[in-house]
Amino acid sequence: MITFQGVSKVFRSKEHITKAVDQVTLTVNKGDIYGVIGFSGAGKSTLLRLVNLLETPTEGKVIINSQEISSLSQKELRQLRRRIGMIFQNFNLFNSRTVYGNIAYPLKLAGASKQEVKARVTEMLQFVGLEDKADHYPEQLSGGQKQRVGIARALATSPDILICDEATSALDPETTGEILKLLKKVNEELNITIMLITHEMHVIRSICDRVAVMENGTVIEEGSVFELFAHPKTQTTKNFINVVQNDKLSPKLLALLRANYPGQLVRLIFKGGVTGEPVLSQFAKLFNIDFNIIYGSINELQGQLFGSLIVEIKGDEQEIQRALESLKKKVEVREVINHES
């Protein structure tokens, strides 16, 4: 478990004072994949670097498995770092060493014997699917393969925490998918707690259990991934979500919709079990109104279904209002106009 308690990090130079991390309090539960999302400069990398004391907090406490890490001795700190693996956007491999040499490096540093090194490197190569690349050099590998080496190296010393700084940001979408799958395997098969940072919501949606949204050094929203998607509170979060749901209507499309559908346009958000209910036909029977379905999409989130429908409702104004009030008890109702623009 990783806990941040009122943690701040201030960088001071002659000209500038930057509060990169500002009073952050959050908990990463053991066994979770915890995501931190935010735009560039939000303070994500600094927050992550506080976990393995690559940065020391200016204020507050970072507690890992009930140990406050800033009070550790040099020896304890070395031990702690061995239990925290880290991977990077640009892989940070040693170009002069082979794949084998890269993965062996932290093991040698930890004083493992030649035999132990060989056994562990072989095991890790198998785990990341690069058995045939042991003698290759990084420059002979694709981006995805390089990140696999990065992961194997980070896991060589059997850490219980893996921290990932934009680990898929330099990769194409397909390779990103493969690396995210591998991270999920790391989490599930090796029981490793993962804290990752990203500026891409699809990364959060694919593999994270919980998420924090960061802006200007502070956490502006935090919760389970499902809750965040279901009830986003801030505009920043809504913007991140819109990108992945591909649901935001362009002004042109919205204008065309209005011109073509004179009735009331609403977006209905269905979550979890409600997606299996014939809500619309029930309401058409209960109230004297008609639904005209214009657009629909469905997504999977944390094993739950999450649907979105844009419908035109036709009928008497008062009857529509009565129906909407009642609908709101079942699904989330958003006025298309206000929400989208």
Of the candidate spans 40-48, 66-74, 266-274, 294-302, the one that interacts with ligand ADP by CB under 6 A turns out to be 40-48
Extract the tokens encoding 28. Answer: 């990463």
Cα dist. 284→16, 135, 236, 293, 307 in Å?
A: 62, 67, 36, 12, 19
Residues 6+ apart with CB under 8 A from 318: none
Beta carbon nearer to ligand ADP, 17 or 259: 17
Please report whether residue 46 would count as binding ligand ADP according to CB under 6 A.
Answer: yes
Backbone dihedral angles phi then psi of residue 129, each to the nearest 5 degrees: 75, 40
Gap between the Cα atoms of 39 and 244, Å rounded: 15
State the minimum distance, in angstroms, from the CB of residue 53 to ligand ADP.
14
Among 5, 18, 92, 175, the residue binding ligand ADP under the rule CB under 6 A is 18
Gap between the Cα atoms of 126 and 120, Å rounded: 10
Instruction: Provide the 8-state DSSP code for 336.
Output: H
Among 45, 102, 206, 236, the residue binding Mg ion under the rule CB under 5 A is 45
Partner in contact with 338, chosen from ligand ADP, Mg ion, none, beta carbon below 5 to 8 Å by kind: none
Among 6, 11, 243, 316, the residue binding ligand ADP under the rule CB under 6 A is 11
Partner in contact with 46, chosen from Mg ion, ligand ADP, none, beta carbon below 5 to 8 Å by kind: ligand ADP
Residue nearest to Mg ion (CB): 45
Please report whether residue 41 would count as binding ligand ADP according to CB under 6 A.
Answer: yes
Residues 6+ apart with CB under 8 A from 67: 80
Is residue 183 within 8 Å of 167, Cβ to Cβ?
yes
Beta carbon nearer to ligand ADP, 9 or 146: 9
Among 38, 85, 150, 159, the residue binding ligand ADP under the rule CB under 6 A is 38
Is residue 181 within 8 Å of 144, Cβ to Cβ?
no
Instruction: Count the Cβ atoms, other than its own, within 10 Å of residue 330.
Output: 14
Gap between the Cα atoms of 232 and 218, Å rounded: 17
Gap between the Cα atoms of 82 and 245, Å rounded: 39
Is residue 160 within 8 Å of 191, Cβ to Cβ?
yes
* Selection from 149, 154, 128, 127 nearest residue 138 by Cα: 149
Beta carbon nearer to ligand ADP, 4 or 127: 4
State the minimum distance, in angstroms, from the CB of residue 13 to ligand ADP.
7
Partner in contact with 150, chosen from ligand ADP, Mg ion, none, beta carbon below 5 to 8 Å by kind: none
Beta carbon nearer to Mg ion, 45 or 308: 45
* Selection from 186, 177, 187 nearest residue 210 by Cα: 187
Residue where the block lists tokens 């045939």: 132
Partner in contact with 145, chosen from Mg ion, ligand ADP, none, beta carbon below 5 to 8 Å by kind: none
State the minimum distance, in angstroms, from the CB of residue 12 to ligand ADP.
8
State the minimum distance, in angstroms, from the CB of residue 45 to ligand ADP.
3
Extract the tokens encoding 171. Answer: 């990769």
Is residue 316 within 8 Å of 253, Cβ to Cβ?
no
Partner in contact with 81, chosen from Mg ion, ligand ADP, none, beta carbon below 5 to 8 Å by kind: none
Beta carbon nearer to ligand ADP, 36 or 309: 36
Partner in contact with 41, chosen from Mg ion, ligand ADP, none, beta carbon below 5 to 8 Å by kind: ligand ADP
Partner in contact with 11, chosen from ligand ADP, Mg ion, none, beta carbon below 5 to 8 Å by kind: ligand ADP
State the minimum distance, in angstroms, from the CB of residue 8 to ligand ADP.
12
State the minimum distance, in angstroms, from the CB of residue 136 to ligand ADP.
31
Extract the tokens encoding 277. Answer: 């209910």
Interacting residues with Mg ion (CB under 5 A): 45
Interacting residues with ligand ADP (CB under 6 A): 11, 18, 20, 38, 40-46
